[in-house]
Structure 1
Amino acid sequence: MDTSRFSETLVPLASTGCLQSLIKLNGIISDSDHPPSADVVSVFTNHLEYRDPPESLHPTDNMIHYQINLGLQSLSGLYWCWKFKRTEPHLRTLICDAWPSIWKWTNSIARLCILQTDAYGVGTRNLTFQCITDLLVVLACEEEQLRIRMASTSGFMELLTNLWLDEAEVHNPRGPDAFLTSAAVLSLFLLPQTNNRPGWVECVINASGDDKRIATACLNHIRHALGTTPPHFENLVLHSTVLSQLMESRKTGAALLHQDCISLVMKTLASATSNPYSPSTASSIRDVIFYLCIALKRAFLSTEGVEWVCQALNKQLLPTLLRVEPWLPGLPASSQGAVVEMLTKSLAVYMMHRPVVIAVERSFQIVDRLHLGQLLTPSGELLKAWKIFRELAKERLLVRDQLDQRHNESSRTCSSTKCRKQDGKRVFKRCKLCLQAHYCSKECQIEDWKNGDHRTRCEAAQELRRKGLLDPISRREMDYISTVTTSDLRMNAFRIRHLMATLYSGDPLSSLVAHLDYTTYPVTITVGPAASLEGTSEDTLSCSVFDREETHRWYGHGAESFLLARIRILQGQYTIVASIGCEWPREDSVEMQLSEMFEMLLAPPTSESQVE
């Protein structure tokens, strides 16, 4: 339909503020395949620029009602004109230049007709919501510079957040099946690749004024989209995007996690992957999988990371990850990597924790019963990652079983540097303040407090716990960590000795330590002087620290020597840094000499080694 023949009659009337003429003009533009003239666009922009929106609501005041409808029709007209922006660049320029006027009316009408008491009924509220969200989506979707300008406008992010919160709290005014809701607008400003202003996420959080409220709203949005039949995956993409970005905030992330976020994420992933692959929904399901995996990875790095990993595993994370393979080929390589890394990195680094290993063992039973591993593509990346993770889990389960068989023993030693007696009968007492140091007697505790480093470590641990960064490590957990570390040290004893002999040939063995970094997978092994590996930061916890001067007495006695190792283990948002002693074959043993020669032939000396 050609709009030019209507200009002579409708445009002059619409310019004077005739509401019926504006409605007819909008209808013609929406049905037309021809772009409107600049004069038509100016009708809408002039109304917004030269007229002021009402400041308050009076249900009986017909003039205010007229003003609101005039503003809504002008905003709606710009929405329909925007569809011609590609063929008519001058229309895009006119509309972008009118942003201050658009914002003036959008802000006023949204606050009066949506966020305040609805004086004009549900119909006007829904019309207002639809008009504002539709226009904001198209403006922010394709114009990056305009999107930055919008977000930089004072009060814009606050209004957008309040619309999003209101929508979650009173349910979607356009119905559960509606698309282009306020979440569609909000997600455009939170997408990682478009978030040019890091403060935008903070603006959303600050606008709510309550971390619990914003967490509840985010999860309610997901529940509403998931509750439709079938689930509305287009909306789930938007809500998953918002969720993944909000998880970056420590306080909001914690509020989300303590409102059963993990269970809802797993329920959504299960819903997305349990249905047969369909081309019509494949794109949306792929995006949901990607953003929810990002949200899970950030949850695992939060303060109570071990707890959330176990909770996700108990909600069938492993079976769900194996079911995502049909959707992976459609994702970019980087996005595919984010999903695969859930196995090879996010979960692998937590296999140093006994509760995680137990949860993985239960998950394996479900995977094997459903034969999910056999359904993976033979040459696919997911199968390779699954084999690596399964082999790691097999090793950790073996260590767990060996430790359980000798459950009456303990690898823990007295924390006093003057004692180091082993807690064979598990009777040592733990410090009630730091919950980390163990002593065989009151005398050893006093000695370590006065002359050792327990005072410093104890005060640091208490400070971390006050900040909510530290949970006590159980004796059983520490025994498991120590046993895994000892096993890895002995398996790599020959290479470690070779690195020490090659790189630090002039240093006595007692002055060197091995450093095992379990915060990455495969674990990285480094050797060096003990002094070079000391020191912790605010987000680390030192425990079971050995005085290297006291380790001299371990060397050169009997058939074995003693190695001191510093280990780093991921414990949610902070890192455990511990020192563990390991007995291993003496340097002059025949087996060691033969193995060193073999190692020297296989690999050149390096300062770092990755163990798979």
Structure 2
Amino acid sequence: MLQLISQLAELSASTSTLHPARLKTFSALITALDLSPASEFAPQAILAALRPSLSPPDDSDSSRYEWAESSPEAVAQTEISGAALEVIAVLCRRCGTESLVEELSNMWPLVCVGMLKYVRALVRPENDPLPCKADKIGSPGHAFTTVVTMLHLYASVDCLRVLVQGSPEALALVVRLWQFEAEDQRGSLSRQLGEIFPDAAQPPSSAQLVFQYIFSLPQDEWDAGVVADAKDNAFAAIMHIARCIHLVYSAGLSTELLKIIQVNLENLASLYSTDTQRVLLALRSSRTLTELLVALTSYSFHSKTAPEVVQILGTIFRLLSPHIAANGIADVAHLIDSGLLVGLLRVHPWLDRDPQSAAFADFKALLTENLPKYLIYASVLRAVHQSIHAIARAGGSGVFLTMPSSPCSQAWQLFYTIADARIRLARDGDMEPPQCNASKCRKPGYSRCGRCLCANYCSTQCQLQAWTNEGHSAVCLAPHEEGFTPILTPEDTTFASVIAYHDLLASTICDEWRRQGTLPLHATMDYTTYPPQFRVSPPPNQPNVPLASVRVILPNGGQGDKAKSTFLWNLWVSNLPYENLIENTIYGLRTMPGTFSRVLLNSE
């Protein structure tokens, strides 16, 4: 061991690079550290011998990790740095990081430079990043696992973690590693980290590092940097969860995997608290969360993993519930088509055990408040109708009304009752699959356009025809301005009018008007919450307001103040010429005995 240390020191002090000789000595030292008793180690001597290998070249900007390997010497510096970092990692694993805190603290500037140099191996043009095998110094896989290991070791001790958090270039490196691992959908990098730490309850991962180093800081210290790279970070967050979904199906529910999933969800939650939320929603993060819900609940309840599953379910519902219609009403129907109701039905073994938990509260809010307010639309109600029928075919026609009494089943029965009452107001054919959007096709369209979610097709041939020859590509690819108001389709607007008309006649508004007996008569029907709010109200603050009107507020999806549309129904039209009413007249309405008026649906 001492001979190898001495030899390494001599080679490091040499004016010649001696790249092959140094790598050979490093390999021998790593093998010796793995096989020799820890009592034979000389940590201080080893770390001292590594210093020259980690030092930056005189002409380099050590604050950047995107150095170009423009010469054989630069390639040698990259690989020597990687070998030196691996020696430190092996030394820490064998001796314990806590026993080397002072040495690691003193060496942090050099370790940081070494990591910044070695990460260049991730982006070498000749390196195919997948599969990322960590079997060779200088390979992308070896660079990734080595740098992640070093950052993991520094994160394990508070005073060392603070050093990393004080280095902006190191934090940028953490994010870069996170983005790199997002591209590894087969999970080969995480498996190799598990092999390096076989006894760890939770092997290190780039997602864990982002959580420990970035999102553990006060938000004002990382917000600007995250938002500046919003698209790449949003993509990375979603792809990490997508990889977890793949692992759930391929590897089963282990405690280790569930912890990784929760870390990734917490990272997503942190991004939701920034302006990156808009990018995440545009990338349909809600669908990814729905797919994760379906994957988790496809397994049977097991008491060993129940606490982790409940925590994950709570996070899913917390993130999903407020944003199910973030990109418009089509989003809601698409989530239901993707299995949202199936996942919500299967959660009861986990959530019924503690109905006082935050997870159950978020589940109940999603199922009995946020979803029902969109059942005013035909497209959503149709998706619910078809999903319920599919579930009933699998579990029996009375599956919803004969479920054993429990907190979850009570929430489900309420949702089923709401949906059933709305479905009964539909016309024949309203709940059948929509017609294919190809102009010359009359078949049912069972598949949605994956981009806009509004067009339905019966086959890929019809979709291609509509895309290339019938103008759907221009509509689908048209850019929307930021914060746009999603459009309600004529079908959904008309069906919402049917529901509102029915509710108006069934509500107490007409009774209050009869008691009032004098004009003006004004009311508001607000469907942006469930149950909807109906009330007699003051006249709208608008010019030319009719003497009798109903203000109907519909939830049209979107974000912020774009999440609703307001319509004004004019119930007092006797003073208007008939020709102004022809195209706008929707229904006849009796507001008081002996009085007949027409209802106008005018956008406010």
**The TM-score by the shorter chain falls in which range?**
0.5 to 0.7
1:164-313 paired onto structure 2 within 5 Å: 164-169=178-183, 172-174=187-189, 176=191, 178=194, 179-188=203-212, 194=216, 196-197=218-219, 200=222, 203-204=225-226, 206-207=228-229, 214=236, 217-218=239-240, 221-222=243-244, 224-226=246-248, 228-230=250-252, 233-234=257-258, 235-243=260-268, 249=276, 252-257=279-284, 265-297=289-321, 299-304=323-328, 306-313=329-336
Is the CA contact (8 Å cut-off) linking 1:283 and 1:330 kept in structure 2?
no
Matched position secondary structure for 1:228: helix
Q: Report the more deviating stretch, 66-75 or 268-277.
A: 66-75
Instruction: Please state if 1:52 is matched with 2:65.
Output: no
User: How far, CA to CA, are the matches of 2:307 and 2:241 in structure 1?
Assistant: 22
Counterpart residue number, 1:136: 151
The equivalent position to 1:518 in structure 2, one of 515, 527, 531, is 527
Any gaps of 5 or more consecutive residues in structure 1? 1-5, 406-463, 502-507, 535-545, 552-561, 590-612
Is the CA contact (8 Å cut-off) linking 2:322 and 2:370 kept in structure 1?
no
Deviations 1:158-199 (A, max 9, x none): 3223222322335545365744222232344676xx463157
Give the AA of the match of 1:399.
L
| Identity level (%) | 17
Query: What's the offset of the Cα at 1:356?
Result: 0.7
The equivalent position to 1:70 in structure 2, one of 84, 101, 116, is 84
Query: What's the offset of the Cα at 1:247?
Result: 6.0
Matched position secondary structure for 2:297: helix
User: How far, CA to CA, are the matches of 1:69 and 1:96 in structure 2?
Assistant: 20
Q: Report the more deviating stretch, 128-137 or 194-203.
A: 194-203
Deviations 1:443-477 (A, max 9, x none): xxxxxxxxxxxxxxxxxxxxx96546234433332
1:157-556 paired onto structure 2 within 5 Å: 157-169=171-183, 172-174=187-189, 176=191, 178=194, 179-188=203-212, 194=216, 196-197=218-219, 200=222, 203-204=225-226, 206-207=228-229, 214=236, 217-218=239-240, 221-222=243-244, 224-226=246-248, 228-230=250-252, 233-234=257-258, 235-243=260-268, 249=276, 252-257=279-284, 265-297=289-321, 299-304=323-328, 306-328=329-351, 329=353, 333-369=357-393, 370-371=395-396, 372-373=399-400, 378-380=405-407, 382-401=408-427, 466-467=481-482, 469-493=484-508, 497=512, 510-511=519-520, 513-531=522-540, 547-548=544-545, 550-551=546-547
Is the CA contact (8 Å cut-off) linking 1:79 and 1:134 kept in structure 2?
no
Give the AA of the match of 2:346.
R
Is the CA contact (8 Å cut-off) linking 2:234 and 2:271 kept in structure 1?
no
Give the AA of the match of 2:218.
N
User: How far, CA to CA, are the matches of 2:521 and 2:97 in structure 1?
Assistant: 69
Matched position secondary structure for 1:123: coil
Is the CA contact (8 Å cut-off) linking 2:523 and 2:551 kept in structure 1?
yes
Matched position secondary structure for 1:399: coil
Instruction: Please state if 1:156 is matched with 2:170.
Output: yes
The number of residue pairs the alignment matches comes to 479
Deviations 1:372-394 (A, max 9, x none): 536855232x2232122222212
Query: What's the offset of the Cα at 1:313?
Result: 0.9
User: How far, CA to CA, are the matches of 1:520 and 1:19 in structure 2?
Assistant: 66
Query: What's the offset of the Cα at 1:203?
Result: 3.3
TM-score relative to the length of structure 1: 0.62
Give the AA of the match of 1:165.
Q
Matched position secondary structure for 1:155: helix
Q: Which has the higher helix share?
A: 1
Check 1:480–1:132 CA distance in 2 against 1; reply closer, same or farther (3 A cut): same
RMSD in angstroms over aligned alpha carbons?
Answer: 5.0
TM-score relative to the length of structure 2: 0.63
Is the CA contact (8 Å cut-off) linking 2:310 and 2:359 kept in structure 1?
no
Matched position secondary structure for 1:473: coil
Query: What's the offset of the Cα at 1:28?
Result: 9.0
Is the CA contact (8 Å cut-off) linking 1:211 and 1:251 kept in structure 2?
no
Query: What's the offset of the Cα at 1:26?
Result: 5.9
User: How far, CA to CA, are the matches of 1:224 and 1:348 in structure 2?
Assistant: 31
User: How far, CA to CA, are the matches of 1:347 and 1:190 in structure 2?
Assistant: 34
Matched position secondary structure for 2:358: helix
Is the CA contact (8 Å cut-off) linking 1:367 and 1:373 kept in structure 2?
no
Any gaps of 5 or more consecutive residues in structure 2? 13-24, 61-68, 128-132, 195-202, 432-478, 572-588, 596-604
Matched position secondary structure for 2:72: coil
User: How far, CA to CA, are the matches of 2:356 and 2:343 in structure 1?
Assistant: 20
Matched position secondary structure for 1:567: strand
